[in-house]
Amino acid sequence: MSQRNQVEYGIASLYEQVARSVYEERGPKAIHPVQWSALRYFQRASSQAGTVSGLAKFLGVTSGPASRAVASLVKRGLIEPRPHPEDRRSMLYRLTATGQQAMTNDPINRLANALQCIDAQDKRTFGAVIIKLAEVLGTQGGGE
Amino acid sequence: MTTVLIVEDENLLLKTLSTILKRKGYDVKTAATSAEARAAIFEGDSNLDLLVLDIWLAGHSGLDILREIKVNKPDLPVIVMSGGSVGRPLEQDVAIADVYGAATVLIKPFQADELVAAVQSALGR
């Protein structure tokens, strides 16, 4: 490993550790990261956008994984379906009271709160870097 | 009068959004391309009070415009609209819009009252 590559590997390793530490809760009863993303979507989605297809676009996945995430959240009582007023083939989903309560413990808040301790200029720089990183990874496509 | 610029490349939606805000008493300007948007935002004395920006403009990312606004017009509030795109999760667009300080992100489709509420909130009234 070259000196330059070693530095980048170290940064990548720390970044991965930080990201992984966000989701401390483990086990069968834990809400999985993709389920947290789905809950965030249904919390932010406009009233007509809370559909399985909307979630699929949000997550960048096909309808199958999105449907499974929705089914698991409904089963856990975190979201609830209601008929779509303009499309009888579709259902709209929204957070239940339990889901709203769960969102108060969204693990991403822990990271967001930690970022509040970071100097404003450093935060701007970090934001720009992480956006660039996301763009580079997006351009490169999936892993090997 | 409060001036709102709507940037949206779908003509029908652009007209609909424009009509909604005009009926609420806003002075509405429109742009359908990145070039039109940049001209309206950065050239001349635009005097905009609010920008309503579609994040994807004919395959180009409106996030570039948002980035430029953050640098050159940091006090201009921006409402971002998105319905997702091919090749990038909407989740990432929403997060980037948050990083750039968008007042809110409206996920399409949304209703007229949701747009009006977002506009009023972004304008602080």
pLDDT tens digits along A97-142: 999 999 999 999 999 999 999 999 999 999 999 999 998 887 765 4
CA–CA distance, A14 with A92 (Å, rounded to integer): 39
pLDDT for res B7: 96
Across chain B, mean pLDDT equals: 91
Cross-chain CB nearest to A46 (options B90, B96, B106) = B106
The contact set of A with B (CB < 8 A) is 37, 40-41, 44-49, 54, 57-61, 127, 130-131, 134, 138
Q: Is B109 exposed, middle or buried (0-12, 13-18, 19+ CB in 10 A)?
A: middle
Cβ A47–B107 below 8 Å, yes or no?
no
pLDDT for res B63: 85
pLDDT tens digits along A26-41: 776 789 999 999 999 9
For helices A120-140 and B90-99, the axis angle rounded to 10 degrees is: 160
pLDDT for res A66: 96
Ramachandran assignment for B89, one of left (phi > 0), alpha (psi -120 to 50 degrees), beta (any other): beta
Mean pLDDT of A35-55: 94
CA–CA distance, B40 with B30 (Å, rounded to integer): 9
Q: What are the phi and psi torsion angles at B21 (to 5°)?
A: -75, -35
A-chain residues near B92 (CB < 8 A): 60, 134, 138
Cβ B114–A46 below 8 Å, yes or no?
yes
Compute the nearest-CA separation of A45 from chain B (Å).
6
Q: Is A61 exposed, middle or buried (0-12, 13-18, 19+ CB in 10 A)?
A: middle
CA–CA distance, B80 with A113 (Å, rounded to integer): 24
Interface predicted TM-score (ipTM) of this complex, two decimals: 0.85
CA–CA distance, B75 with B123 (Å, rounded to integer): 11
Mean pLDDT of A38-67: 94
Closest-approach residue (CA) in chain B for A124: B99
pLDDT for res A135: 86
Cβ A60–B107 below 8 Å, yes or no?
no
Across chain A, mean pLDDT equals: 90
